[in-house]
Structure 1
Amino acid sequence: MTSRDQRFIDRRRFLEIGGASALGATMLSLGDRGGFSRAFAAETPISFQLSWIKSIQYGGYFAGIDQGIYKKHGIDPTFVSGGPNVDPVANVASGRSPLGDRPIGPLIVAREKGIPIKVIGTVFQKSPYSIISLAKKPIRNVKELAGKTIATATSGRPMMLYMIKEAGLDPASVNLVPSAPDPSALVSGQIDGYAGYSTNQGVMLQTRGVEIVTLNAHDLGLPETTGTIYGREDFLKDNRDLVVRFLRASAESWRWGLDHPEATAKMMVERYGNPGLNYEAQLTEIKESKPYIEAGPAATKGLLTLDLPLYGKIIELYRNVGLVKGDMKVEELCDASFADAAAKS
C-alpha cells in the first residue's frame, strides 16, 4: 500500500467517522426536541367510540384523518361507529375504546353511578337540542306545549318534564311520546313537536322543503353540551401526553372542517360516512353546527376547551331533576387540564 493510498483511506475513514458523529449529534438534537421520535416513530393508535353513526356531526375528526393532521401529531385514530343498538359509555368503561363522545347528560348519569369516566373536552359548546315544530303550526314558547303531543327520547323525558313544571304547566297537559330518529311524524301530523337536534333532525326537514321553527333548550334554561369528549380515568392518568396530542390534533382537525364545509361534506359522503348520506344535508348540517361549536370558551380559549362554570350549572340542573342525588362536584366530572394544555401549543 502506498503512502498516497494510506492518506486516501485515512481521509475516507475520517469523513465516515465525522459524518456518523454529525448524524448522531443531529439525531440527539432532534430527540431532545421530540422531533426525532415524531419523524421516525410509527403513529400511536387510539380508539374513539362515537355516540352515533358516522356522519357530518363527526366531520372534523374525519377531516383530520383525510388531511393528515392526526398523522402529523403522531396519532393513528380509529373512530368506532355508534348507533341505536350501541351503548357508547359501556364500551368506554369496559376499555374497548378508551375515549369517546356523548351528550353530557348520559355522562353525568354514568358518573353518578360510579362509572370511572371523566369529561376532557367538548365539540358543541352549546347544544343544538331543540323543540322543533312546523312553521305553519309553531311552538314559540314552553307554555304553548299545553295540549300538544311532543316526541322525545326516553333519556330526554325527565328534562322535558322539568321544563314543563318550571313553566307552571300541568305535566298531564303535555302528551310526551317516544321519538324515532327520523322526524317525519311531525310532517304527517302525528305529533306537534319533536325534541331533537336542529342541526340534525331540523336539517332533515329543511332539506325536504319543510319550514320549521326551533325552540332551543339551552336558551330555555336547560344548558347542555354535546359531542362531549370523555375517557376512562385510568387511561387518562397513564396516557396524558397521548390524550393531549389527540385533543390538539382534533381541535386543529375541527378548525379545518369548519373552514372547509364543502370539502368536509364531500369526504363524509364519498369516503368516511355511513352509506346513503346526502351531500346537501351534510353541508347544511356542518354550516348550521358552526356557531354551536364556536360558542363559549371556544371563541377565546380554543375549540374543544371546557367551560367549568357551565358544567356546574348542568350538574345542578340534573340534581334538581333528580338524576344526581349525591354531592357531585365539577372536578369529579371534568378535567379541563387536557384541553387547556392542547390549546396552548
Structure 2
Amino acid sequence: MPFALDRRSALKLGISATASWAISRTFGATTSAFAQEVRPLSFQLSWIKSIQYGGFFAGVDQGFFKKFNVDATFVSGGPNVDPIGNVASGQSQLGDRPIGPLIVARDKGIPIKVIATVFQKSPYSIISLAKTPIKSPQELKGKTIAVPTSARPLLLYMLSNSGLKADDVNIVPAAPDPTALVSGQIDGYCGYITNQGVMLKSRGVDIYAINTQDYGLPETTVTIYGREDFLAANKTLVVNFLKGAVQSHAWALAHPEDTAKLMVEKYGAPGLDYQAQLTEIKESKPYIEFGIAATHGLLALDVPLFDKMINVYRTAGIVKTDMKSADLCDASFIDLALST
C-alpha cells in the first residue's frame, strides 16, 4: 500500500505541513520506483508473422520489452490488411511498412511519423535466373519484368536514369510467388532477395540479383512509424519500446537458429519452413546492420537518406508536395533509446 500522510495526521504527530509534503513526495517517489507500470502497446505488422519480424518476437520471448515496462503485442498483417489505416485510426499505436507507402501516406496528409527502421538498406532486387542473368538496368532492354503495381513508377524512374525508355521493357504485374521466373514466362522479377529470393533458392533454383538501391532507388523496410499525436503524448512508452526492440534485434541476429525456431514453433504463421526462415534471417543481417546502424546502433534513422528517397519519389511523380524529411521523420525517439 502506498505511504500516505494527510495534514491532520501530520499535525497529531507534530510534523509540519511542509515536512509532511516532503515525506509524501519521498515515499511516493519510492513507491513509484518500485512499482513502475507495465504499459500495453499494439504494433501493426505490415505482413504475416514470419522471420522478417523475428527480432520483435525474440524480444517478446526473451522479455526485452517487459524489461522496459512495455507489454508489446504484434498484430498480423497480410494482403487483406490496411496497416497504415489501422495505425492512423488508432487500432494499433505503432506499425511497420516499407518506406514507399509511408512517404505516399504522409504526402496525402495522413499524420504519421517515421521513428526508426530495422532494414537500413532494402533487400529489394531485380531477380533473374543465373543461367540468363540480368546484371544491370541496361540489360532490362527487351526483357519481360514482373513488378508490383505500386513500384512501377520507381522502375520507370530507374529505367530513365539508365538511358532506357518505358517501352524498352515489357512490364507486367508481379504475383507474390516468383514461379513465373522459373517457367520462363518472365525474364526478371522485382522482389526481396530475402523473401522471394530465398523462396527460389529453397526450391533449388540458381538466381542472380541486382539490388535496386545500388542503382539509385534507396529504400528502408520494416520502417517503424506511429501517429503524430500518439507519439507526442507517449514519448517515454515509445522510447522504452524502441529500447526493447534494439536489444531484441541484436539478440535475434546473434541467435539466428533460435530465432528461426521460435518463429516456426511458437510465434509465426502456420506452415513456415525452418530452413527457409533460418536462411532469410542470415541473409537479412547485412541489410539490418548496414550504414548508420554500424555507427549509431540498430534501428537508427539516417535522416539525409530519407530526403533522397523523398526526392526520388517526387522525381518519379509520386510525391506531389514539398515534403521534406523533417515532415516525415522524427529521430528523437530512437536517438534517445540508443543513448540511454
Instruction: Name the TM-score, length of structure 2 as normaliser.
Output: 0.91
Aligned to 1:241: 236
Aligned to 1:160: 155
Structure 2: segments with no counterpart, 5+ residues: 1-22
Instruction: Report the counterpart of residue 113 of structure 1 in structure 2.
Output: 108
Name the CA distance, whole Å, in 1 between partners of 2:32 and 2:76.
33
Shift of 1:223: 0.4
1:76 corresponds to 2:56? no
Q: Would you say 1:52 and 2:47 are equivalent positions?
A: yes
Which of 8, 33, 36 matches 2:34? Answer: 36
Show CA shifts across 1:156-213 (max 9, x none).
1110111111111121121111111111111111111110000110011111111111
What TM-score comes out, normalization by structure 1 length? 0.89
Trace 1:282-301 onto structure 2 (pairs within 5 A).
282-301=277-296
Change in Cα spacing, 1:37 to 1:31, as seen in structure 2 (3 Å) is: farther
> What's the % identity of the aligned pairs?
67
Which residue of 2 is the match for residue 88 of structure 1? 83
Q: What is the CA–CA distance in structure 2 between the aligned matches of 1:96 and 1:256, rounded to whole Å? A: 29
- 1:207 correspondence with 2:202: yes
Task: Go from structure 1 to structure 2 and tell me whether the alpha carbon gap of 1:97 and 1:210 turns closer, same or farther (over 3 Å shift).
Answer: same
- For the residues of structure 2 that align with 1:269 and 1:197, how far apart are their CA atoms? 20
1:125 maps to what in 2? 120
Distance in 2, Cα, partners of 1:316 & 1:277 = 38
1:122 counterpart letter in structure 2: T
> 1-side partners of 2:151 and 2:313: how far apart?
12
User: In 2, are the aligned partners of 1:121 and 1:229 still within 8 Å (CA)?
Assistant: yes
CA contact 1:123–1:228 (8 Å) conserved in 2? yes
1:32: Cα distance to partner? Answer: 5.3
1:237-285 alpha-carbon deviations (Å, 9 max, x no partner): 0000000000010010000000000000000000000000000000000
Q: 1:187 to 1:29 in 2, by over 3 A?
A: farther
User: What residue number does 1:254 align with?
Assistant: 249
Deviation track 1:29-71 (CA, whole Å, cap 9, x = no partner) reads 7945964133xx3x21111010100000000000000111111
Q: Secondary structure at the match of 1:283?
A: helix
Structure 1 runs (4+) deviating above 3 angstroms are 27-35
Question: Match for residue 318 of structure 2?
Answer: 323
Shift of 1:140: 0.2
The verdict on how the C-alpha distance between 1:207 and 1:341 changes in structure 2, with shifts beyond 3 A counting, is: same
Pair 1:196 & 2:183 matched:
no
Q: Which amino acid aligns with 2:337?
A: A
Residue type of the alignment partner of 1:58: Y
**Alpha-carbon distance in 1 for matches of 2:32, 2:124:** 42
Q: Residue 31 of structure 1 contacts residue 37 of structure 1 at CA under 8 Å; is this kept in 2?
A: no
- SS of the residue corresponding to residue 46 of structure 2 reads coil
Output the CA distance in 1 between the equivalents of 2:236 and 2:317. Answer: 37
| Cα deviation, residue 215, structure 1 | 0.7
Q: 1:172 aligns with which of 167, 170, 173?
A: 167
Q: State which drifts further: 172-181 or 249-258.
A: 172-181
Counterpart residue number, 2:335:
340
When residues 94 and 135 of structure 1 are mapped into structure 2, their CA distance, relative to the original with a 3 A threshold, is same
- Distance, in Å, in 2 between the alignment partners of 1:56 and 1:297 is 23
Q: Which has the larger radius of gyration?
A: 1
The CA deviation string for residues 78-136 of structure 1, in whole angstroms up to 9 with x for no partner, is 11111111111111111111210000010000000000000000000000000000000
Check the 8 A contact 1:148/1:174 in 2, yes or no.
yes
Which range moved further: 111-120 or 176-185? 176-185
